[in-house]
Amino acid sequence: MIEKIKSRFDKLDKVSTHILKYGMQLACLLVLAGLILYLMNIYSTDYSIYQSALSKHIVEAAVTIAAEIIIGGLMFDYFSKKYSED
């Protein structure tokens, strides 16, 4: 099963691969930023509920962005192969 998924990802276009690669890097960077902000807020002397909510919102946005990147990259690959002139 995993080999089948891996073989499908190996067949992706170069542009789709770049979209997925850099989009997931952006999403991971946002998750890391949200996590750092959350941990700094917890371990600091002045706890802020607004900073906690902001950090949680950043992580939620990162998960949403990751889902959009995956769906968009796969759709781009599908339509570019479907409508390409061979």
CB pairs under 8 A, 24+ apart, for 77-86? 77/12, 77/13, 77/15, 77/16, 80/13, 80/15, 80/16, 81/13
Express each pLDDT in 23-67 by its tens digit: 999 999 999 999 999 999 999 888 999 999 999 999 999 999 999
Q: Could you give the 3-state DSSP secondary structure of residue 46?
A: coil
Is there a domain that residue 1 lies in? no
Q: Which domain does 74 fall in, by range?
A: 14-78
Is there a domain that residue 3 lies in? no
How many domains is the chain built from?
Answer: 1
Q: Which two tokens stand for residue 35?
A: 């996590």
Is there a domain that residue 27 lies in? yes
- pLDDT at 83 exceeding the cut of 80: yes
